[in-house]
């Protein structure tokens, strides 16, 4: 699989959708009843939920680490990161391994399929007021009658609170 590096939004956080072609293939998954999508090029693999070794003194959403063929990678619980209540894992729960500069895993309820979404079908994220941070949403993708929230997975996983992981030990 070739690795393409997609343009990053400008550092001020504004998304220049107009200058950026968001069309492409997205892997979609569910958290509760909401559907999300991630650029397929960032996805390395999908594995079923497995034993996760907990790491103490880390934020809530950091579930722990797993052994991925010899590499130890951190795993994030996306539900917790998005403020959703925790739920039991079942046989549909998956870990999506993404490459955001480093390998990380995210836990999702179910994985659906890969949709090819043309940029014409992608709209900028809704302005929901300052209470909701939408900086990590690339846009809203329309597939038939469904709307998928397309995530900027880099933003999601490399945001400030993850950097704050460093300081946990010093607390």
Partner 1 sequence: MSRQTQADRTSKVQSLFSKLAETIGRIDAEDLSGLAQVHGWCEALVEIGLTDRAAVSEEVAHRISTLARQLEALILGEVANANETFAELRAAMQQLAAECATALGGSADSTQSATSLTTDQSGRTDDAIVIPMEGFSDESDAPGENGVTAGAAAAEADTGSLEPAGETPSTESAPATREAYVAEPLKLDPKEIEFVKGFVEEAHEHVEAIEAAVLEVERCPGDVAKIDDLFRPFHTIKGMAGFLNLRDINCLTHEVETLLDQGRKGKRAVTSGVIDLVLSVVDLLKLQIASVAEWLTEPHKGVIAQPPVAEMIDRLRAVVAGRLDPDALSTARTANPPGGAPTPAAPPATQAQAKPEANATPQTPAPAAKTAGPSAAPSATQPATPSASPKPGDQSIRIDTEKLDALIDMVGELVIAQTLVSMSGDIVSNPKLSRDVTQVTKIVRDVQELAMAMRMVPIGPTFQKMARLVRDVSRKAGKFVNLTISGEDTELDKTVIQEIGDPLVHMVRNAIDHGIESPEDRIKAGKPETGEVHLHAGHEGGNILISIRDDGKGLDPAVLIAKAVEKGIISPTDELTEQEAYSLIFAPGFSTATQVTDISGRGVGMDVVKRNIDQLRGRIEIVSEKGKGTTFNIRLPLTLAIIDGMVIRVGRERFILPTITIQQSLRPLPEAITTVQHRGEVLNLRGELIPLIQLGELFGLTDRINPCENMVIIAHCEGRLIGLVVEELIGQQQVVIKSLGERFEKLQGISGAAILGDGRVGLILETSGLSAAHDKNQSTGRKNRGRGTPARGSSRTHGPDPGRNDRPDRQASDSQPPVEVACK
Q: What residues make contact with partner 1 under the rule CB under 8 A?
A: 51, 53-58, 60, 64-67, 69-74, 85-89, 102, 162, 165-170
- Backbone phi, then psi, for 74, in 5-degree steps? -80, 150
Token couple for 114: 């890969």
The CB-of-159 to partner 1 minimum distance in angstroms stands at 12
* Spatial distance between the Cα atoms of 87 and 66, rounded to a whole number of angstroms: 20
Edge-first strand listing for the sheet containing 122-123: 110-117, 24-31, 34-39, 146-151, 137-143, 122-123
Nearer to partner 1, 68 or 140 (CB): 68
The CB-of-84 to partner 1 minimum distance in angstroms stands at 10
In DSSP notation, 96-109 reads: EEEESSSEEEEEES
Element (H, E) at 72: strand 71-77
Element (H, E) at 113: strand 110-117
Nearer to partner 1, 40 or 165 (CB): 165
The CB-of-68 to partner 1 minimum distance in angstroms stands at 10
Nearer to partner 1, 72 or 128 (CB): 72
Nearer to partner 1, 87 or 92 (CB): 87
The CB-of-80 to partner 1 minimum distance in angstroms stands at 8
The CB-of-98 to partner 1 minimum distance in angstroms stands at 15
Neighbour count for residue 20 (Cβ, 10 Å) = 16
Nearer to partner 1, 14 or 51 (CB): 51
């Amino acid at each position: 699989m070739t690795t393409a590096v997609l343009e990053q939004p400008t550092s001020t956080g504004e998304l220049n959708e107009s200058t950026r072609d968001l069309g492409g293939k997205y892997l979609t998954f569910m958290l509760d009843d909401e559907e999300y999508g991630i650029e397929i090029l960032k996805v390395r693999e999908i594995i079923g939920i497995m034993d996760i070794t907990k790491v103490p003194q880390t934020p809530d959403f950091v579930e722990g680490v797993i052994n991925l063929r010899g590499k130890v990678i951190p795993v994030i619980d996306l539900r917790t990161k998005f403020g959703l209540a925790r739920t039991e894992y079942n046989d549909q729960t998956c870990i999506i391994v993404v490459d955001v500069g480093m390998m990380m895993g995210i836990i999702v309820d179910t994985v659906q399929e890969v949709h090819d979404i043309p940029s014409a079908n992608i709209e900028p994220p809704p302005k929901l007021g300052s209470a909701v941070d939408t900086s990590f949403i690339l846009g809203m993708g329309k597939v038939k009658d469904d709307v998928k929230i397309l995530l900027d997975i880099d933003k999601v996983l490399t945001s400030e609170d993850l950097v704050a992981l460093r300081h946990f030990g010093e607390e």
